[in-house]
Amino acid sequence: MGEVVPNAAHEALARLDATWPGELLIVTQNVDDLHERAGAKRLVHMHGKLLRGWCLACDGRFGWAAPMGEEAVCPACDAAGAVRPDIVWFGEMPYEMERIETALRSCDLFVSIGTSGAVYPAAGYVQTAKYCGARTVEINLAPSLGSVMFDEVRIGRAGVEVPRLVGELLAPL
């Protein structure tokens, strides 16, 4: 992660976050910190954060930038061998699902960016948002498995299409 930098899509979403006067929630499946480095604040990492550790002995969560092997020691309780990355493994429940579901049920606009649309629960978010009356937009390199659920599908690179959409959203402000 130290070798990558936020792209134009991350920066555009951070600009939307800083400018949009109403409710906004960026939900990412990525475990990197690129949204934060771009400046986004209204953000949920539904699959956790790679730069955080989780101690299974004391349930503590903490920043962690070093390699994490079997002998990693918890800074809170000193347990060795009980620390793992604070990320969601397959079969585990994603984080902040209630907050995400609440946002989906009340949003006016749902945008899906750069996903296959094949992994649940995120693949079903468009259905919830659409059912609750939101306009739905997909931005992807190719149509996803759920493209038929979207009101609008924009095919192209996120670094081009996301800034374009953000510009359209912010133009009337």
Lookup: tokens for 54 = 């989780």
Q: Is 105 helix (H, G, I), strand (E, B) or coil?
A: helix
Instruction: Identify the pLDDT of residue 67.
Output: 83
Q: Same domain for 98 and 148?
A: yes
Residue 173 has pLDDT above 90, yes or no: no
User: 3 in a domain, yes or no?
Assistant: no
pLDDT reported for residue 166: 98
Q: Which residue in the list 10, 35, 45, 47 is annotated as catalytic? A: 47
What is the rounded average pLDDT of the residues 79-105? 96
Q: pLDDT tens across 7-36, in order?
A: 999 999 999 999 999 999 999 999 999 999
Q: Are strands 109-113 and 61-63 parallel, antiparallel or unpaired?
A: unpaired
CATH code of the domain in which 37 resides: 3.40.50.1220
The reply to whether 47 belongs to the active site is yes
Q: Do 76 and 19 share a structural domain?
A: no
pLDDT in tens, 105-149: 999 999 999 999 998 999 999 999 999 999 999 999 999 999 999
Is it the case that residue 92 has pLDDT exceeding 90? yes
Report DSSP state, residue 168: H
- Residues spanned by the domain of 58: 48-87
> What is the C-alpha to C-alpha distance for residues 98 and 154, in angstroms, rounded to an integer?
29
pLDDT at 2 over 80: no
Please state, in angstroms and rounded to a whole number, the distance separating the CA atoms of residues 125 and 71.
Answer: 38
Last residue of a domain, one of 36, 67, 87: 87
Give yes or no for residue 69 having a pLDDT over 90.
no
pLDDT score for 70 = 86
pLDDT (mean) for 65-89: 92
> Which residues does 2 contact at the CB level (< 8 Å), separation at least 6?
none
How many folded domains does the chain comprise? 2
Question: How high is the pLDDT of residue 68?
Answer: 86
* Predicted pLDDT of residue 124: 96
